[in-house]
């Protein structure tokens, strides 16, 4: 009976992880397909530069925020919590940059 529960929990966790991965992929594809009217190459590259700069700024602000929390909370768990938050921020930054680079509205 106990073994059946363990397998049920493992199966559930695998299903959750796979669902999360599939939803992340779908979200990233949706972000790279933002529909806008036509743009000339100068406008497109200007907007892309703004999106890349915003992703960089977002990462920097999140790392500063995580550090401020770490300074205020000297608990034993904090370095690990800050590391998890930093990993999440870096992964989001990578996905945002990838989506901005892939963004390709039609030329006028």
The model's pLDDT over 53-102, given as tens digits with 9 standing for 90+, comes to 999 999 999 999 998 988 888 787 878 888 899 999 999 999 999 999 99
Residue 29 within a domain: yes
**Distance between first and last Cα of the chain:** 66
- Report the percent of the chain where pLDDT is more than 90: 43
What residues make up the domain containing 41? 2-102
Give the C-alpha separation, 95 to 88, whole Å. 11
Would residue 18 count as lying in a domain?
A: yes
Report phi then psi at 37, rounded to 5.
Answer: -70, -175
- DSSP annotation of 91: H
Neighbours of 99 (CB within 10 A): 19
Mean pLDDT of the chain: 82
Task: Confirm whether 35 is domain-assigned.
Answer: yes
Is 108 contained in some domain?
A: no
- Torsions phi, psi of 107, nearest 5? -80, 145
Domain count for the chain, please give it. 1
Is-contact 67 82, C-beta < 8 A?
yes
pLDDT at 19: 65
Q: Does residue 107 fall inside a structural domain?
A: no
């Amino acid at each position: 009976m106990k073994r059946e529960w363990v397998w049920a929990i493992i199966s559930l966790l695998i299903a959750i992880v796979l669902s999360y991965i599939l939803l992340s992929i779908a979200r990233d594809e949706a972000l790279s397909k933002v529909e806008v009217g036509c743009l000339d190459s100068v406008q497109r590259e200007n907007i892309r530069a703004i999106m890349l700069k915003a992703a960089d700024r977002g990462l920097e602000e999140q790392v500063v925020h995580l550090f401020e929390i770490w300074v205020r909370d000297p608990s034993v768990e904090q370095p690990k919590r800050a590391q998890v938050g930093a990993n999440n921020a870096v992964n989001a930054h990578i996905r945002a940059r990838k989506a901005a680079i892939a963004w390709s509205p039609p030329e006028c």
